[in-house]
Amino acid sequence: MLPTFQRAMLVRRVRIGGVELLPVTLAQAYCLYAWESPLVRGGTITPADFAVALWTCSQKCYPFESFSDAVTRGVPERKLKRLGRRYRMRRYGKDLATLREWLGWHLSVPPRFMKQSASSGQSAAPWPMIVAVQLMPMVGEDRAWTMPVPQAMAYKIALDNAQGDTSWKSEAEHEQGYANGSNTQSDK
């Protein structure tokens, strides 16, 4: 079974720094990619990056208007200050590793979803946006954005397959286990 389908059947929760995280939704993934969080894009992760990602993963990011309003009003900064007062930095390394694993478990997608445009060398739009737009006619806008990423990816893969997309047969995806389901996130 494809690892995406395996993850879609599980609902995991984790607590980091006293904050309980539910499964990452497409809206949360979109925000992390739009903000170019180093936890999803790679690079050096500062305590502020850690705190913003933790805050984002604990909030309902959709509808975007109310989420953007909370960001504008400084809610993340206030939350981060409260978190900073009670958070022990000696746990930072362990909690960062847990958050990185948590996001990796939710945001690990087949290479075909990271297609890049020839002109810019970057994706034309963040992949959570692409997936949400393709699912909206089937499940509606609200459900598409608030759906856990593994479930949304399972729907998207099934939809692509039903439409004759055979990109899952590529060598790159076969090497990562997406063609035969031999490589699961827990194996990494």
The answer to which of 18-27, 34-43, 101-110, 111-120 has the lowest mean pLDDT is 111-120
Q: CB 105: neighbour CB atoms within 10 A?
A: 21
**For the residues 26-42, what does the mean pLDDT come to?**
88
Q: State yes or no: pLDDT of 149 exceeds 80.
A: yes
For 40-77, write each residue's pLDDT tens digit.
888 888 888 888 888 888 888 888 888 788 777 877 77
CB contact at 8 A, 62 and 93: no
- pLDDT for the residue numbered 177: 60
- pLDDT for the residue numbered 108: 77
CB proximity list for 91: less than 8 A, separation 6 or greater? 17
CB contact at 8 A, 76 and 52: yes
- pLDDT for the residue numbered 185: 39
> Over the chain, what is the mean pLDDT?
77
CB contact at 8 A, 41 and 49: no
- pLDDT for the residue numbered 117: 44
Sequence-ordered alpha helix ranges (H) in the chain: 3-8, 26-34, 38-41, 47-57, 64-72, 75-86, 92-107, 127-139, 141-146, 149-162, 171-175
Residue 181: pLDDT band by 50, 70, 90 thresholds? very low
Q: State yes or no: pLDDT of 83 exceeds 80.
A: no
CA–CA separation, 15 and 40 (whole Å): 19
% of the chain residues with pLDDT over 90: 12
